[in-house]
Structure 1
């Protein structure tokens, strides 16, 4: 390790990034100095890397450890990544072993959560960030864990015992919280003790509510078509049609790029969806004609569906579009964007499509998740003679 105090190289260096990216490397590691978390930057002696490190704000040299380091903050982490992008390979094997999760184009705004939930320990936010939890999951965990901490305002979390947590969970149930919400609270608590504090199975015996098995709301093909027919805005028509015909989640639709529509292979590419998976779904020929008209009229630049100033389209707008279409079609059901995805899967199953193919189109890890549609598909019911009609 080079003595940082002796670096006297100018920061203004012209770099041929494409060539040098394969020759240079830095490694990020965790470091604790005076009980404060730091980012340790390890590298082999190199003039370009030394100059870039010297340009980092807040960089320090430790004589004791013979290394350079920065305070471990989100801003510093991203600054390091940005500074060395294209110049050197950033090895995060020892720092952030999991790849970043960019759920539906949303960045993990951990600083916003820090400000909103000051009672939550800093280590909790850092672990959410390092493990690259999705923004939606992180928000849910923080909401639940903050409620847990407020239930024990004068107690150190490390002193809370299993019977205390069981009593807390029981109170949530008594207050009418759904089984799903109770399970989320348990997950947020276990995340702190088992993941943040590194105490596996700390509350192994805490019982969970039995998971509710609710069947999804399904529309008929005629109802879906009526929703499309009753929608007179071309952009809104395309949104409803694509949600249904490709079986997309709302977030997946919002994250679609223009290049994800492949008219030659008649596929829709969904990148980094739920569970950090890429997949393909099918593209409707009828929808493709509408999409071409839509493109000519709206001229999107990056995302297939864009809002103001070419930003990603609003999630709430998609909900409003679907609900309005359902009202216009006089459908007396609680229709959401996900209802169209459920209907897509059910209609494929009723048409005789193999369950394994439906699983791939939906992006499910297991056919067990997809099997729920066997309970709502009605094609087999038609062969059964009702005893009242006999």
Structure 2
């Protein structure tokens, strides 16, 4: 399969309803893969494939295509919420539209990706650095910049990241990706005056125990229910759950072995006694071969599919608050803390390098808050 395939996703309005158009240079293999994505249809009027629009769908499409190593252009969605929610009679104006990479740059990007992989960066990090570096190269094409300099990077940082008020995490990703690309190209640029901004100190979303139970009760499919229960009961990242193999489950010791997790670290986490009967029933029924959770034809279960599972379960449980698969991991940590588990043990179970990362859960735990007497009650 071609590694230099480019996919463009952009807004499509029809009868006052918004959809997502999916454009690509015609290729039968790419076409079949696009059509395999849930709810993708062909529009005779607009001569494009399209799917229903909702905010999470953009990320789902990005992940789905990046799995094939394809480059995804979603610049058309990098607009304000007001602009996205305003129907127009003509095709929406695409802001920050950048020219395509030239052939030589496409070759560089492919080599850069291989270089990052050899450095043993995680697949997600590789995809992110490749994506932001491709944007930078397209930006210098737009500005007719012939050689990379400190000034060109500062320009990109201001015009494409700071001025449009893109997120702090995105800005840090761009800076890191470009710096690695410079290392790859052996370009030595001194005094790059781009300060990494501090990350926003946002608290994680957490579900109550009753809400977690409602999600599990609403999930009837055995595979889906087992996967959600395992993520919560072991505090797993979704990537860790989907990379598990049957051999990683130690029923006798009540432990789960997580191999090469974030930071290329191995660790053990808990296997709930209450989950063992369900997990054994799942394994006996599905008989997973290589991976614990497999899709059709023994293919790896995708993160896109897993996100659709939690979204459906939340709807079935009638839970309106925003939650994702990672919310189950946050909830696991918070519930452990509220039950009196030492923060150091929680750090080990989650696989955090620093206790400072784990301490965030002390800010969302209600253990101490419920003991505070509200002055309003004495009025």
TM-score w.r.t. structure 1 length?
0.67
Question: In the alignment, is residue 290 of structure 1 matched against residue 291 of structure 2?
Answer: no
Q: Does residue 361 of structure 1 match 2:349?
A: yes
**1:157 matches 2:147:** yes
Asked whether 1:269 is paired with 2:260, we answer no
Residue pairs, 1:211-250, within 5 angstroms: 211-250=199-238
- Give the aligned partner of residue 175 of structure 1: 164
Whether 1:138 and 2:160 are equivalent positions in the alignment is no
Distance (whole Å) between structure 2 residues aligned to residue 165 and residue 379 of structure 1: 47
Check the 8 A contact 2:140/2:152 in 1, yes or no.
no
Q: Which moved more, 1:355-364 or 1:202-211?
A: 202-211
Q: Is the 8 A contact 1:247 1:344 kept in 2?
A: yes
Unaligned runs of 5+ residues in structure 1 are 1-107
Asked if the contact 1:190/1:203 (under 8 Å) is kept, the reply is no
- Asked if the contact 1:267–1:280 (Cα under 8 Å) also holds between the matched residues in 2, the reply is yes
User: Counterparts in 2 of 1:92-111, with a 5 A limit?
Assistant: none
2:330 to 327, 342, 349: 342
**Offset of residue 109 of structure 1:** 8.6
Please state if 1:381 is matched with 2:366. Answer: no
In the alignment, structure 1 residue 326 sits paired with structure 2 residue 314: yes
Matched with 1:210 is: 198
C-alpha displacement of 1:194: 3.9
Q: Alpha-carbon deviations, 1:226-274, whole Å to 9, x = none?
A: 1001111111111110010000011111111111111100001111111
Larger mean CA deviation between 351-360 and 208-217 belongs to 208-217
Which residue does 1:190 correspond to in 2?
179
Does the 8 Å CA contact 2:145/2:152 hold for their aligned counterparts?
no
Structure 2 alignment gaps of length 5 or more: 1-65, 72-99
Shift of 1:303: 1.3
> Residue 157 of structure 1: SS of its match in structure 2?
coil
CA deviations on 1:59-113 (whole Å, 9 max, x unpaired) are: xxxxxxxxxxxxxxxxxxxxxxxxxxxxxxxxxxxxxxxxxxxxxxxxx999756
SS in 2 for 1:272: coil
Deviation at 1:305, TM superposition (A): 1.2
Instruction: Determine whether 1:314 maps to 2:302.
Output: yes
Deviation track 1:162-211 (CA, whole Å, cap 9, x = no partner) reads 33322321222222311111111111111122454163x73453122331
Q: Matches of 2:193 and 2:183 in 1, distance apart? A: 13
Conservation of the 8 A alpha-carbon contact between 1:194 and 1:202? no
- For 1:222 and 1:130, locate their aligned partners in 2 and report how far apart those are by CA, in whole Å: 45
1:303 and 1:340 mapped to 2: Cα distance?
Answer: 21
- 2:230, 2:191 → 1: CA distance? 44
Of stretches 302-311 and 213-222 in structure 1, the one that deviates more from structure 2 is 302-311
**Which SS does the other structure have where 2:259 is aligned?**
strand
Counterpart-to-counterpart distance in 2, 1:371 and 1:195 = 36
TM-score by length of 2: 0.69
CA contact (8 A) 1:127 1:196 kept: no
Deviating more after overlay: 284-293 vs 120-129 = 120-129
Q: What secondary structure is seen at the aligned counterpart in 1 of 2:347?
A: helix
